[in-house]
Amino acid sequence: MFNIPTPLTRSIIFSAILLSSFSAFAQPQQALVPGGIALLELPDYTRDTKVYFKNKRVAVFPHENIWIAMAGIGLSTKPGDYDFSVKQPDGKSLNSKVTVQFKKYDEQHLTIKNKRKVNPNEEDNTRIISESTRKKKAKKQFTETTPNVDFIWPVTGRISSIFGLRRFFNEQERRPHSGLDIAGDEGTPIKAAANGTVIDAGDFFFSGNMIYLDHGQGIVSLYAHLSKISVKPGDLVKQGDIIGNLGQTGRVTGPHLHFAIITNQTLIDPVFMLPKDGNTYYQQTSQTGEKTAK
């Protein structure tokens, strides 16, 4: 039988310990808001136990002597109570509640010179639909590999656009910003944030040169707008390996890396997976978000 603690209490304590224990690396930080992360301790975890959140399987990984379940909370999630569902190998199922709080995200207005990147033509739309299938497949990737969630920053630099911003391109509203934009010089090497396998890599209409890395159990990282891709699907990469170079391909207003993290098929704010002191520019520029665009 599991002795499941209430995530709102036990998991917050866990996160505080992690943040004080790592510098160059970081374990996930709980944030019970849309775009955030919910953590659940599993003190009596046994092999083949599966954990779900909003009907999607979530990642489970060890930290010291405790196993942790991690669920991404989608941007469209309404405030309220949601359940982790823990399904044991013997068929028993147990639930543990978390309470998601309201969070308001700011707006961002950008001017895109290439108007086709805002209003694609018929040929562009055919390409976008084809690429959408690839993106959905990458987003749903789930392998049984136990993930290493000690992520590092893929590149350091000024934060030019934060996660969750409501976006207006040429005064036309589009989807909220789904990642973290890090500005830099074109050609700057981009590192793998954690060990992984390349799911897909190539040139996409909006995202430019982009790479998806599978880190195990539904945790996927995404690197977009690259000037160069240095890996191919199926490649195994180690944390810190150079996988490409910073650029300004796709829908952009300047050179930057668009970095995103997906878990349980849900885009989350990457800052909750990154060390706070891993980018000296982070505290200075994390609230700007005025120039670059995905």
User: Which whole number is the average pLDDT over 14-29?
Assistant: 48
Torsion of CA 179, 196, 17, 104, to 10 degrees: 10
Which band of pLDDT confidence, cut at 50, 70 and 90, is reported for residue 251? confident
Which residue carries 């207005």 as its tokens?
A: 109
pLDDT of residue 201: 98
Among 34-43, 89-98, 173-182, 258-267, the minimum mean pLDDT is found in 173-182
Which band of pLDDT confidence, cut at 50, 70 and 90, is reported for residue 69? very high
pLDDT tens digits for 172-210?
666 778 899 999 999 999 999 999 999 999 999 989 999
pLDDT of residue 106: 77
pLDDT of residue 166: 73
Residue 213 Cα to chain centre, angstroms: 11
Phi, psi of 36 (to 5 degrees): -100, -160
pLDDT tens digits for 89-127?
988 899 999 999 999 887 766 676 777 767 778 888 899
3-state secondary structure of 270: helix
pLDDT tens digits for 132-172?
999 999 999 999 999 989 999 999 999 988 888 875 656 66
Taking the C-alpha atoms of residue 57 and residue 65, their distance in angstroms, rounded to an integer, is 22
Taking the C-alpha atoms of residue 47 and residue 62, their distance in angstroms, rounded to an integer, is 12
pLDDT of residue 172: 65
Domains and CATH numbers, the chain: 7-100 (2.60.40.1590), 107-285 (2.70.70.10)
pTM of the entire predicted model = 0.85
User: Which whole number is the average pLDDT over 58-67?
Assistant: 91
